[in-house]
Structure 1
Amino acid sequence: MRKATAITIILLLTFHYSNAQSRSSNRMLEEGHILENFENDEIGTLPHKWYNQKGEQSVTEFSEEEREKYKYEVVKGRGGNKYLKYSGRRAMHLSLPLINKDRENIYGINIFETPILSWKVRAYKLPENAREDDDSYNDSVASIYVAFDMGRVALVKKVPKTIRYTWSSTLEKGTELSKFFGNQKVVVVESGDERTGKWITFKRNIVEDYRRLFGDDPPKNPIAILILSDGDSTHSWAEADYDDIKLLPEQTK
């Protein structure tokens, strides 16, 4: 009798544990992954989870002189919401790693389950006459990149496959470009200054975009998210805010 009772208790505990795991998994699929909202960062600093372009070192660990080169800072807006502001000319990428140095999946991401990349931008000042199809004028008020695994090797240099979603000064919304031996695809998601000064939420199905742009299936876990605002090529000023970078399930689109 005691043995039967013990087995019953174990089965009940296993059942409840499995249900709890299932509910947790379902909740994750419903809510997706909040990759960054800057709420855990100090005002006036660089965001602590972000690295330099190549993902070699956290930007918060750089010397004061090196940190000064990054024209980004966490600020607080109305209602206490924190976000990231860029104001400057110099081009400096910030990179949010999605895998660690052992190539382990930090956030447990599977983009076939959460394929919708969502992010918010508020643009103020667009670099003058900038256009992403000309390297001499290749500036953008706000770009966000999804970096996948390494693409083809060019001149003994590995180039990661990336999709760059950009707010262009001059190129028409919907324009798509291919650069870096086909390893970077540029998608213009907004153009011009008509919607400056207010928060705009962008959503893209990165699985569908990858299939269309590269012609095959993406890895289930990208290696990083990067952002870039700059005006150095056109020698002009750029100013924009970023917030709420997420991966969401398709039904939330």
Structure 2
Amino acid sequence: MDRWTWLLGVMVALLVSAPAFCDAPFVVGPFSSGANGGAFPDGWEPLVFKKVTTHTQYTLEDEDGSVVVNAVTDGGASGMIRRVGIDPEQWPVISWRWKVGNVYAKGDATTKKGDDYPARIYVAFAFEPDNASFTERLTFKAARAIHGEYPPVAVLNYIWANKTPKGTLLPNAYTGRAMMIAVQSGPDKAGTWITETRNILTDYKQAFGTTPPPISGVAIMTDADNTGESATAWYGDIQFLHAE
């Protein structure tokens, strides 16, 4: 499946206001506020792909007294997204917790056939025409004509990889506009909840060589359409912080 084609069509820069400055975190994924088997928090919606008929199932479930997202896939792919405008200078740190039941035997972040992950967090960044080159403006204008809105200019993917070493930064197998960061790798910590904290300013500069534009969306995805394997994952609350 062509991830960048999907990003062009789905993860568009649909911006809404983030909260004003305060000491409290901005919880973009307040899953723990939901109910077991209930609806997702406001703003979260499914992502499905035109050429993929088998979808990942996402449900809210109570685990040890806290409601989290349970994701189950069997050779399928889909995600959950919240389109939200966030200033990364004001909210430079993203934090979340996650758990996987397994990793993929055929997972490989360097190839299209292996471009599946039992868990990943997407952070998409808005295209800004005034700061783009002439060629970029033409390219993104054509994309907007097809899809109705500008696609994101870039995407950071925080992944739970199979064999890619932890800490590795590499381009997505489909496009250099999506950069992959192996936050976890391998099966050693499968079945264990892990809390992650990443500085988006630092990661974006390392990935793309410049300061980031506004964030336009955050998504979770557990997919297996390329490898044809199965996986179960869990996602806890996702939040943005002012500083580490």
Q: TM-score range by the shorter chain?
A: 0.7 to 0.9
Contact 2:108 2:114 in 1 (8 A): yes
Which residue is 2:117 aligned to?
140
Q: Which amino acid aligns with 2:77?
A: A
For these two proteins, the number of residue pairs brought into alignment is: 203
Partner Cα distance (1:124, 1:110) in 2: 34
CA apart distance, 1:96? 0.9
Q: Deviations over 1:36-62 (max 9, x none)?
A: 1313333224524312349xxxxxxxx
* Greater Cα radius of gyration, structure 1 or 2: 1
Q: 1:117 aligns with which of 94, 97, 105?
A: 94
CA apart distance, 1:31? 2.2
Contact 1:154 1:181 in 2 (8 A): no
Distance 1:234-1:45 versus aligned 2 partners, 3 A rule: farther
Contact 2:98 2:195 in 1 (8 A): yes
CA apart distance, 1:239? 0.9
Partner Cα distance (2:40, 2:223) in 1: 18
Partner Cα distance (2:191, 2:219) in 1: 22
CA apart distance, 1:154? 7.6
Contact 1:159 1:183 in 2 (8 A): no
| Higher helix residue share | 1
Highest relative contact order (Cα 8 Å, sep 6+), 1 or 2? 2
Q: Counterparts of 1:57-136 in structure 2 under 5 Å?
A: 69-78=55-64, 80-89=65-74, 90-99=76-85, 109-136=86-113
Q: 2:217 aligns with which of 224, 228, 233?
A: 224
Contact 1:126 1:239 in 2 (8 A): no
Partner Cα distance (1:97, 1:75) in 2: 23
Partner Cα distance (1:232, 1:181) in 2: 18
- Runs of 5+ consecutive residues of structure 1 not aligned to the other structure: 1-23, 55-65, 100-108
Q: Which amino acid aligns with 1:94?
A: M
**SS state at 2:113 partner:** helix
Residues 1:202 and 2:196 aligned together: yes
CA apart distance, 1:117? 0.5
Distance 1:136-1:69 versus aligned 2 partners, 3 A rule: closer
Partner Cα distance (1:114, 1:25) in 2: 11
